[in-house]
Structure 1
Amino acid sequence: MRLINFVEFSRKIVGVGRNYLGHVKEMKYAGKPESPVIFLKPPTSFVVNGSSIKYPKECSDLQHEVELAVIIGFKGSDIAENTAWDHVGGYTIALDMTARDWQAKAKEQGMPWSRAKGSDTFCPVGTFIPKEKIPDIENQRIWCSVNGQMRQDGNTKDMIFKIPYIISHISSFFTLEPGDVILTGSPAGTGSVKPGDKIEIGLGDLIKANFSVIAK
């Protein structure tokens, strides 16, 4: 199946922010968002299982955010919620690495988050798994440990905006194409990492991936 190699031809990574209430609270945002908070990462931010995450020299607070990644299998725009599942090819587990200090400064200045979210190696991903293998994707554990210590332990059932709505919403302004990746948001427990740290992430026991943080 071609989607196994999605990182080689994906044209965009669409991130959804503030999609778990626990994360909304820990970041001290003012209540639930009325619609999905959307941002982009370039495909050059992909790294695969066993790779290194580069800690930028100018960054002082690099943080992990574990997320379910939905991988698009069939092209579509203005997709209706009731047909959204038809456009899903499969899933993986991913990290939305965030230079939190850069993001905070950008927010203060009313500027985009592109550098804070989209730098090289800022989208580590696990292996592809076809959607047929996980029929109950909206009730799956997602987790992240750092140096063997569990940091994030959430469940996709707690998403504020569900996957069909997310796909419909995003496709109303971005045409979704095969290999595109949607990061569906992160549960509570996001935290800082440093060079030398070992990060492990998982989608239940179905997919696990490991990454090392190194100085750039």
Structure 2
Amino acid sequence: MQITLPPPVVAAVAGTDTGFPVRRVFCVGRNYAEHAREMGRDPDREPPFFFSKWAETVVPDGTTIPYPQATKNFHYEAELVVAIGKAGRNISVDAALDHVFGYATGLDMTRRDLQLEARSQGRPWDTGKNVEQSSPLGLIHPASQIGHLNKGAIRLTVNGAVKQSADLADLIWPVADIVSFLSGLYQIEPGDLIYTGTPAGVGPVVSGDEMVVEIDALTPLKIKVGDPVA
């Protein structure tokens, strides 16, 4: 029997046709103070923590993602995404940005009911977070072209209505700190993506909704929610 594997995930990069091969996806939990509070946590006492998702959850701008199975509470989370271009372990904060290839808009779509059920029982979040097509990713802009992002507006709209609005300066752990901390847990590698956390205002979407994520200096990400998984 011959087994056919799906093609590797390659994200689009501004100004090139070669793309960015996606290796791993790391996500930072509760990295904006107001979002931490709306999720019932104290943002002043918590070091950064991470969960991971399959590379195949990454889908490009313009995708219509199906409403997933086993949930009745599918949430958007707008995020700044960091694309890693250089390997490293135990990287200092001062050197961390040297390992960043570029930045993109992103969404961490979440089966919130499953996540909260798992959290209440002290279980991993995998079923709530690691879901097919749940990591939409916009065009990656190389840091060599736009610089490094430590401030600037981040906003999400659903059907034109603003649902999330904040500034990257509000990140509890900014990009350099995140990269440094993560490299103390794993050797980061070219192709890794880091979703840096979402502002307050998360909420549900239904089939037919259109989400738009905008971050200053980056190309907006537009994603539609399709019919439920059969």
- The yes-or-no answer on 1:15 pairing with 2:35 is no
1:38-63 per-position Cα deviation (integer Å, ceiling 9, x unaligned): 11011011110000222112101010
Task: State the match for 1:112 in structure 2.
Answer: 124
| Structure 1: 4+ residue segments shifted above 6 A | none
* TM-score normalised by length of structure 1: 0.94
Contact 1:22-1:187 at 8 Å conserved across structures: yes
Task: State the match for 1:208 in structure 2.
Answer: 220
1:156-206 per-position Cα deviation (integer Å, ceiling 9, x unaligned): 100111211111110111111112101111111111101111111111263
More helix by share: 1
- The yes-or-no answer on 1:146 pairing with 2:158 is yes
Contact 2:29-2:49 at 8 Å conserved across structures: yes
Separation of aligned partners in 2, 1:17 and 1:33: 13
1:72 to 76, 84, 90: 84
Task: State the match for 1:28 in structure 2.
Answer: 40
1:131-160 per-position Cα deviation (integer Å, ceiling 9, x unaligned): 133335101111110011111111110011
Separation of aligned partners in 2, 1:3 and 1:125: 9
Point out where structure 1 has 5 or more consecutive residues left out of the alignment. none
Task: State the match for 1:167 in structure 2.
Answer: 179
* TM-score normalised by length of structure 2: 0.88
Kindly tell me the number of residue pairs found equivalent between the two proteins. 213
Contact 2:30-2:43 at 8 Å conserved across structures: no
Q: Which amino acid aligns with 1:152?
A: Q
Task: State the match for 1:127 in structure 2.
Answer: 139
1:57 to 69, 84, 91: 69
Percent same amino acid at aligned positions? Answer: 36
| CA RMSD after TM alignment | 1.5
Separation of aligned partners in 1, 2:215 and 2:43: 27
